[in-house]
Amino acid sequence: MSEVKKYENITCTFCGALCDNIEVEVESNQIKKIKNACAISRKKYMHALQDRTIPMLNGKECDYDEAISRAADILKNSKNPLIYGLSSTTAEAQKTAVKIAELSGANIDSTSSVCHGPGTMAKQLVGMVTATLGEIKNRSDLMIFWGANPVEAHPNHSKRYTMLSEGLFKKNRSDREVIVFDVRKTPTAKMADQFFEVEPGKDFELLMALRMLVNGKEPELNNNQIAGIDIEDLKVIAEKLKNAKYGSIFYGMGLTMTGAKYMNTWAAMSLIRDLNDFGRFVMMPMRGHGNVAGSEITMAWQTGYPFAVNFSRAYPRYNPGEYTAVDLLANREVDAAFIIASDPAANLPHQAAAYLDEIPTIVLDPHWNLTTDKAEVVIPSALKGITASGTVYRMDHVPLHLRSFLEDEWPDDAEALVKIGELIEND
């Protein structure tokens, strides 16, 4: 009879909350039981060993080394390749991907450019006052969720770090006031003490009006409303913000994807800066993919820039809107693509993703997805946090080490990338 092994404190890599309290029971290299996982995480572990990729070249199975070698050839012979994805792989793999970008004169961009990238651009303009999730859990008496819906996107976030968590000084839900700003009444809004429905595309105006009120000024009004919210309500909110001992704003793509994009987050970060004249106030993006925060950290550590980096002149240049994946693909400026742990065919605008059909595309991913259908080369890889170890960064930039607890027949992303880099470098 095969042995049942139990593992505790396993880290789920689905979202940026990186819950590190997962317990699994393993028998015969299969996951038999899972504890503490959210609904999405449970599905992720149950599906982990299914739908696994194999090495493929032009739709036909090939040797692993043959796929690696062809990937290196494509990157070597390309004049302006794109390396994209990176948010669901380890910092070790991300670092090596940057090296490959430098060796091949590539553009390198992460999925951050289509999620919290605009917020990062705002950080470069004004800075962001932030904290660890532990500090917020222990101390924050006013929590605001703005254009974010963690109940559906980060299901255990509220239990582990915010509304429902048991902190050192803030023990439970009744110790915290929760306000949600959103264009729709999400499941997160239903958990709040107050929900304010924002007129679509008016976040910037609303945030700037709050800044004025916090600073003792009256905004000019046409109909006693700003962004669909009554001015008298806004005055009450402004007072609450000023009176909070430790306020926190968690923001989602309701700020980064709407009209003003990075200027929305600039306005929110500026409001937070103003509020620190009254009490402590911090802010944090609700990072989606498990290591998308790490993609920005690693890229900044390696190149000086967080995403949208171009190496065509052998030194890094940064320009969102030019070296970002959607723009490069839509403008047909790249002649090859290397997709690492991502599925742009599902997640990028149709016209941008469709261009992948016209250029040699390499996909490094443990599972089949919509982009593997477009790939000339498919390279399988081990499963981060299940059959592969490595480093990932939580949404508050706390690094966590992933342990592997199952065996795999394929090397991990970092090893595949090291091999490709060596083939390019030794040519």
Partner 1 sequence: MLKDKKFTLITGRTIKQGMASVSGKKNKNYKNETAYVQLSSSIMEEYDIHEGEKVILKSDSGSAEVECRSADLSEKIVFMAYGPTANKLIGTDTGGTGMPNSKSKIVIIEKKEGSNH
Nearest Cα neighbor of 324 from 176, 132, 118 is: 118
The answer to whether residue 126 forms part of the interface with partner 1 (CB under 8 A) is no
Helical ranges in 18-176 per DSSP H: 39-47, 64-77, 91-104, 117-126, 133-139, 150-153, 157-160
How far CA 113 is from CA of 84, 108, 327, 344, in Å, comes to 10, 11, 10, 12
Taking contact as CB under 8 A, which single stretch among the options 241-249, 293-301, 323-331, 395-403 is the one that binds partner 1? Answer: 323-331
The answer to whether residue 256 forms part of the interface with partner 1 (CB under 8 A) is yes
Residue with tokens 């999620």: 115
Contact (Cβ atoms closer than 8 angstroms) between residue 329 and residue 82:
yes
The answer to whether residue 347 forms part of the interface with partner 1 (CB under 8 A) is yes
The answer to whether residue 39 forms part of the interface with partner 1 (CB under 8 A) is yes
Contact (Cβ atoms closer than 8 angstroms) between residue 171 and residue 196:
no
Q: How far is the CB of 44 from partner 1 (least distance, A)?
A: 4
The answer to whether residue 118 forms part of the interface with partner 1 (CB under 8 A) is yes
- Integer-rounded Cα Rg, in Å, for the chain is 23
Q: How many CB atoms lie within 10 A of CB 195?
A: 18
Taking contact as CB under 8 A, which single stretch among the options 138-146, 213-221, 275-283, 318-326 is the one that binds partner 1? Answer: 318-326
Angstrom distance (rounded) from CA 121 to CA 254: 16
Sign of CA dihedral 84, 90, 95, 96: negative
The answer to whether residue 149 forms part of the interface with partner 1 (CB under 8 A) is yes
Q: How far is the CB of 135 from partner 1 (least distance, A)?
A: 26
Taking contact as CB under 8 A, which single stretch among the options 58-66, 197-205, 209-217, 401-409 is the one that binds partner 1? Answer: 197-205
The answer to whether residue 343 forms part of the interface with partner 1 (CB under 8 A) is yes
Q: Site size for partner 1, by CB under 8 A?
A: 62
55: helix, strand or coil: coil
Q: How far is the CB of 121 from partner 1 (least distance, A)?
A: 7
Print the binding letters for residues 367-406 with partner 1: x by CB under 8 A, - otherwise.
xxxx------------------------------------
Angstrom distance (rounded) from CA 244 to CA 238: 10
The answer to whether residue 205 forms part of the interface with partner 1 (CB under 8 A) is no
233: helix, strand or coil: helix
The answer to whether residue 85 forms part of the interface with partner 1 (CB under 8 A) is no
Looking at the Cβ atoms of 90 and 256, the one nearer to partner 1 is 256
The answer to whether residue 350 forms part of the interface with partner 1 (CB under 8 A) is yes
Taking contact as CB under 8 A, which single stretch among the options 243-251, 270-278, 317-325, 391-399 is the one that binds partner 1? Answer: 317-325
Residue with tokens 């008016």: 202
Residues 206-225 that bind partner 1 (CB under 8 A): none
Angstrom distance (rounded) from CA 129 to CA 127: 7
Taking contact as CB under 8 A, which single stretch among the options 43-51, 64-72, 172-180, 399-407 is the one that binds partner 1? Answer: 43-51
Contact (Cβ atoms closer than 8 angstroms) between residue 85 and residue 291:
no
Tell me the two tokens of residue 154.
Answer: 């980060």
Residue with tokens 């309290």: 21
Taking contact as CB under 8 A, which single stretch among the options 26-34, 95-103, 277-285, 322-330 is the one that binds partner 1? Answer: 322-330
Taking contact as CB under 8 A, which single stretch among the options 98-106, 295-303, 348-356, 406-414 is the one that binds partner 1? Answer: 348-356
Contact (Cβ atoms closer than 8 angstroms) between residue 398 and residue 86:
no
Give the footprint of partner 1 on this chain (CB under 8 A): 14, 39-40, 43-44, 46-47, 50-51, 109, 113-114, 117-118, 121, 149, 151-153, 155, 183-185, 187, 197, 199-201, 253-254, 256-259, 261-262, 288, 307-308, 320-322, 324-327, 329-330, 343, 345-353, 367-370
